[in-house]
Structure 1
């Protein structure tokens, strides 16, 4: 058994060097002024990992706050590249306890929503200082939008604009919307097995999300194309196996990706954040706001994001629906996202927004 084990280990190490690819010109030389690195930075007492990539390190910085808790988006970029590195220096930060930042010695009492908001602001300050930019751009995805939006509300002077991808609003309400949609759709399709599973564990605004529902939730959503991406039909093939094919993490970092996912979800964060209604918690932002939503997203219901957007007070607001996307439109429709970012976000306007913005 030793020889096959060593062979598999060697193959994994060869396939997964964990390095970040340099930006190369037509002659195969590194583009002058570009940046592509992986590093760990001490943030609020914990070393936290990040990958920093951009074709021009003097471009505006975009801090990407991933979903989860504990599920970085960066490994998805091998299959779903954003193409935004020509506009930004993108910082793929792995949050406290996740993947590059996984450490079982992290104090359990620090795994709180307040701490994640504080970490977001601290990472922001590190980037502002390093890249000598007074304000950076902040993007929150799903769970990341829950903490990033609150960071932007507390410290608007640090940010040029806020981008919410699959913006979270009141997640328990979103889960009820998703549950009702899935039950109706599986009944229409005649999938009696899934109907029985859903009927056995109903989601309600009073009782919340039963554990049996959460166990079937990802399968039910992805089978309908309303999960991570519209074309992803299984989290096993679409995320788990894809993460092991990802070359940007070493084998140990891939293992820590999944260790970190379990670790990050073991502190009651789900039950805390799903009951927070950002419509009342953050009724206004003092910076431009852009919501980028997938038409088929029921993980964080697009209808709730639109409702929040209409109420939210901000100096500039743009709402964008991506017609071929579910939960990750910047990854699913990168060309449209690039146009929106280049022509609206970076100029502080809303010309391309649905209804031409507000």
Structure 2
């Protein structure tokens, strides 16, 4: 028994040492096709006091004079810079990319954050303050705002509150009414697994009640991600497992230290999840004073694209654009980065008032 315990301890220690070695909390410089560091380029972790607490962001750009693009990650509390490993967007070639990690998430997690500050109002205020810091730091009057999933729920409210800070708002997997999306996902997955003859998954889904009245059951939350990814309707269309598609890639991002990501994810989510589920944005937030664009993946069941479209149709804005990515699920910016970049450069920026 003692020998087995020692072997397990040794294996755990070696694994921990390996993770620390590959994730030292440093960013690699940006390089050209020949492997040379690009002169004048920017690739750094930055910590700024936002809303009274230190908050972290990753900033990368081949030319810091390029338009600033502030990316709002999903979750709540789930940083997304790790997606650049397997799905490089290349956006740092055209924009000054800012991967801000929100209050309580990733580099912005701290056990000293007062729980009472984990409110939507504070998150909106934080985002505006980050935008103001970036505008001043890079000498740009307005910047581009892009929100993904939970970040789209936050971002579209920021866009409504402070349109003067932004060139345009882009919502990827735009949330409109998340509880309705979850109910639709449950029905879709039941139909899919019945058609496949996967009786084991059908039984799990049937034992996972979900409704507009009672909300989400614990059983649904346990089976949800596995069922979605096996059906190709989760984070990406070709991601079959949260473990291989998210958990392991996060650990291998050298920009993060060992505990940057998961403690923030676990801590942040409960503060916002129930309100996020119940809020119907299309019933209360439809008028905007800046251009609004929405990117959806055809195969997405995390944020149902039909609901995103219904919300888009209700929106009044100076300029609007809705784009369906046929080969994508929840993350079209990463899954079809070429088309996403083309839209940003040739559709969004040229139409800025």
TM category, shorter: over 0.9
What residue in structure 2 maps to residue 97 of structure 1?
104
Name the CA distance, whole Å, in 2 between partners of 1:186 and 1:284. Answer: 40
Q: How much has 1:282 moved relative to structure 2? A: 1.3
Q: How much has 1:26 moved relative to structure 2? A: 5.8
Name the CA distance, whole Å, in 1 between partners of 2:14 and 2:186. Answer: 45
Name the CA distance, whole Å, in 1 between partners of 2:287 and 2:130. Answer: 23
Of residues 121, 125, 132, the one that matches 1:125 is 132
| 1:229-268 equivalence runs, <5 A | 229-251=236-258, 255-267=259-271
| 1:108-187 equivalence runs, <5 A | 108-187=115-194
Name the CA distance, whole Å, in 1 between partners of 2:106 and 2:147. Answer: 18
What residue in structure 2 maps to residue 353 of structure 1?
none
| 1:192-341 equivalence runs, <5 A | 192-251=199-258, 255-267=259-271, 269-341=272-344
The 3 A distance-change label for structure 1 pair 26 and 236 is closer
- The TM-score normalised by the length of structure 2 is 0.94
Structure 1 residue runs without a partner (length 5+): 350-358
- The TM-score normalised by the length of structure 1 is 0.92
Name the CA distance, whole Å, in 1 between partners of 2:45 and 2:25. Answer: 9
Q: Deviations along 1:171-229, whole A, 9 cap, x unmatched? A: 01111111111111111112222212222222211111111111111111111010000
What residue in structure 2 maps to residue 345 of structure 1?
348
Q: Larger deviation: 190-199 or 148-157?
A: 190-199
Q: How much has 1:18 moved relative to structure 2? A: 2.4
The answer to whether the 8 A contact 2:209-2:219 is kept is no
Over aligned residues, Cα RMSD in angstroms?
A: 1.6
Q: How much has 1:14 moved relative to structure 2? A: 3.0
Q: Deviations along 1:133-157, whole A, 9 cap, x unmatched? A: 1100000000000011000001100
Q: Deviations along 1:219-278, whole A, 9 cap, x unmatched? A: 111110100000001101111112122222122xxx2311111101233x1111111111
Name the CA distance, whole Å, in 2 between partners of 1:10 and 1:182. Answer: 40
Q: How much has 1:7 moved relative to structure 2? A: 4.7
Q: How much has 1:72 moved relative to structure 2? A: 0.8
Q: Deviations along 1:269-322, whole A, 9 cap, x unmatched? A: 111111111112211211111111100001000000111111111111111111
What residue in structure 1 maps to residue 3 of structure 2?
none
Name the CA distance, whole Å, in 2 between partners of 1:285 and 1:265. Answer: 28
Name the CA distance, whole Å, in 2 between partners of 1:299 and 1:275. Answer: 15
SS, match of residue 256 in structure 1: coil
SS, match of residue 287 in structure 2: coil
What residue in structure 2 maps to residue 356 of structure 1?
none
Q: How much has 1:341 moved relative to structure 2? A: 1.1
